[in-house]
Amino acid sequence: MTKEAPGRVADVGAVADRTLENDHAVHLLRQMLRIRRFEERCVELYSRSAIRGFLHLGIGEEACATGVMEALLPDDAVVATYREHGHVLARGISMRATMAELEGKVEGCSRGRGGSMHLFDSATRFYGGNAIVGGGLPLAVGLALADKLQGHTHVTACFFGDGAVAEGEFHESMNLAALWHLPVLFCCENNLYAMGTALELTESETDLSLKAASYRMPSWKVDGMDVIAVEDAARHAVEGVRSGGGPHFLELRTYRFRAHSMYDSDRYRDKAEIEGWKHRDPIPALAERLTASGVLADGDLGRLEAEVGAEVDDAVAFADAGTDETVEDLERFVTSEPVERRPPR
């Protein structure tokens, strides 16, 4: 992590040597593995047409969602994008409900109404799943405003990609959150490409944390391929937000190993560039660290993989056995039904 916005960023300390409790590090590894193996299975399911529509995978980016979610409390809110499988799983939404949603089943976390791009969960205050680039940022600002007006000390974590930074909604939301000193943690997952167009082809200033700093909010660059660095930065930022420090911004520098979506032939990226980033894969990086330090013994990784594989198998079986919502309910939830009205969250 490097400092940004000179004079405005607290020293968050060296992260590489931080000693974590062993079981916590294994937990991080497990979470990243769950996301990775889940998404790899999604590819298979897509091939056999069990999943359709747009499917955006975050393979390579698992450390971002995993690290940030560790810093949040159950009552905090999350707003994410259409590349949000990892965020959903790391937030604690069941793999079963997530996979059922991808298969369009009524047991899915959005009853099959949303699909891969629109995963929602009221129990964990997970507000989507927004597939309009930049469209989630104003929502996050409003959720934070509601928390502030009601005297809550919740944090709203808002995820978006580098592409969103070019949208007007990004700048409007940065300004409003900073102006009103709202408890938002902006998490920019900078994977260097807005779909197929490289950052330097879309931004006059490619240092994205600098843009956020111009709105007078603490803004840090983070190695998004290092889950411990992400968690550490997120904990510092969340602490700052929760203690009344106003919005904070994390630029998580990451990379997606696979194409933008299943329809993308990935012509715009150099193979050597992709391979170069794969050498920084966050999952083997952490596994090797834990093995070298003796936290993981022989066979531990295999056992972890087997447990995760079993969870994925179970989720697919659950989704496959799920039910299609009755077509008679097509128009349900266009507007609220009296029985669906819930107390204010």
Partner 1 sequence: MSTVTYREAMRQAIRDALIRDDRVFLMGEDVGRYGGCYAVSLGLLEEFGPERVRDTPLSESAFVGAGIGAALGGMRPIVEIMTVNFSLLALDQIVNNAATLLYMSGGQFNVPLVIRMTTGAGRQLAAQHSHSLEGWYAHVPGLRALAPATLEDARGMLWPALEDPDPVLIFEHGGLYNTEGELADDAGPVDITTAAIRRPGDDVTIVAYGGTLRTALSAAEALAADGVSAEVVDLRSLRPLDTATIVESVARTHRAVVVDEGWRTGSLSAEVSARIVEEVFYDLDAPVARVCSAEVPMPYAKHLEDAALPQVADVVAAVGKLRA
Using CB under 8 A as the binding rule, whether residue 73 contacts partner 1 is answered as no
What's the CA gap between 165 and 171, in Å, rounded? 7
With CB under 8 A as the contact rule, the residue among 60, 129, 163, 183 that binds partner 1 is 129
- Helix (H/G/I), strand (E/B), else coil: 216: coil
In the complex with partner 1, which residue's Cβ is closer, 176 or 286? 176
**Should residue 297 be labelled a site residue for partner 1 when binding is judged by CB under 8 A?**
no
Which residue, 138 or 163, is less far from partner 1 as judged by CB?
138
CA distance 15 to 17: 6
Compare residues 113 and 242 and give the one whose CB is closer to partner 1.
113
Question: What are the tokens at 55?
Answer: 């499917």
Task: Name which of 160 and 220 has its Cβ closer to partner 1.
Answer: 160
C-beta of residue 100 within 8 angstroms of C-beta of residue 65: no
Does residue 299 belong to the site contacting partner 1 (CB under 8 A)? Answer: no
| Torsion from C-alpha of 173, 176, 180, 185, nearest 10 degrees | 20
Report which DSSP code applies to 269.
S
Contact region with partner 1 (CB under 8 A), list: 19-27, 133-141, 231-239, 260-268: 133-141
CB 225 within 8 A of CB 256: no
Contacts with partner 1 in 157-196 (CB under 8 A)?
168-169, 172-173, 175-176, 179
Q: Is 146 a binder of partner 1 (CB under 8 A)?
A: yes
Q: How far is the CA of 26 from the CAs of 14, 70, 166, 213, 293, in angstroms?
A: 21, 13, 37, 34, 12
Shortest Å, Cβ 183 to partner 1: 11
Contact flag: residue 127 with partner 1 (CB under 8 A): yes
Q: Are 169 and 186 in contact (CB under 8 A)?
A: no
**58 lies in the site for partner 1, by CB under 8 A:** no
22-30, 126-134, 286-294, 308-316 -> range binding partner 1 (CB under 8 A): 126-134
Q: What is the DSSP string of 1-41?
A: -B--STTSS------TTPPPPHHHHHHHHHHHHHHHHHHHH
Segment near partner 1 (CB under 8 A), from 22-30, 40-48, 121-129, 207-215? 121-129
Binding stretches for partner 1 (CB under 8 A):
77, 108-114, 118, 120-122, 127-130, 132, 135, 137-147, 149-150, 168-169, 172-173, 175-176, 179, 332-337, 340-342, 344-345
